[in-house]
Amino acid sequence: MNPDNFGSQLPTLRGPDLSLRWLTAADLPALMTIFANPEVVRYMATEPLDTREAAERYLLSIHEGFQSGGLYQWGIERDGAVVGTCTLAGIDRDNRTAEIGFALGREHWGRGLILRALPLVIEFAFNTLQLHRIGADADPRNSASIRVLEKLGFQREGLLRECYFHMGEIQDAALFGLLQPDWRASAYCPPAD
């Protein structure tokens, strides 16, 4: 039973031209299109989803994360197709924190989509889950991701040296944090009603 009493699935979060919604088995082909591409997962904590079985295991972990309440992952739907995902992982209700993650299918990069999707997740984290802090980490070479985080108002807080072994290489992680007051001051935070 989900600890936030969301019933059987995550609430849909709606933006002007996209929505964040619950992922189902019907989305397995879309998940494979997004995450089979090594360019997309190069700096992510996931291996390329290059078989249907790998995609099914990935979807199962999303559904288990929802049940336990530790991981909420939405599909980004635009024009009827899932083009990426946004995630709150490591949701810690005692400390009121979580880690944010995001990815777009390669053909959807460069259009500002993620900067329209992530504010919906951040608002959900601070308003619905009543979190106080959202963390993120990014490989220091992942310039697009770092630019996205900084535009949203995340502050760079440090560097973990050589903390991941992923896709055959050792990777560093630049650490970022967004506190609720940082978000309220961000240009991407919607005005209060």
Q: Per DSSP, what are the bridge partners of residue 20?
A: 13, 76
What is the closest distance, in whole angstroms, from the C-beta atom of residue 142 to ligand COA in the complex? 5
Residue for token pair 């929505």: 19
**113 is an interface residue for ligand COA by CB under 6 A:** yes
Query: What does the alpha-carbon distance between residue 137 and residue 135 come to, in Å, rounded to a whole number?
Result: 7
**83 is an interface residue for ligand COA by CB under 6 A:** no
3-state helix, strand, coil in the chain (%, to 5): 35, 30, 35
What is the closest distance, in whole angstroms, from the C-beta atom of residue 171 to ligand COA in the complex? 11
**76 is an interface residue for ligand COA by CB under 6 A:** no
Which secondary-structure segment (H or E) carries 33?
helix 28-35
Binding residue (CB under 6 A) for ligand COA from 10, 18, 86, 103: 103
Binding residue (CB under 6 A) for ligand COA from 148, 152, 174, 178: 148
Binding residue (CB under 6 A) for ligand COA from 44, 91, 131, 174: 44
Residues in 49-68 that interact with ligand COA by CB under 6 A: none
Sheet-wide strand order for 81-92: 13-14, 19-21, 72-78, 81-92, 97-104, 133-138, 169-179, 155-166
**43 is an interface residue for ligand COA by CB under 6 A:** yes
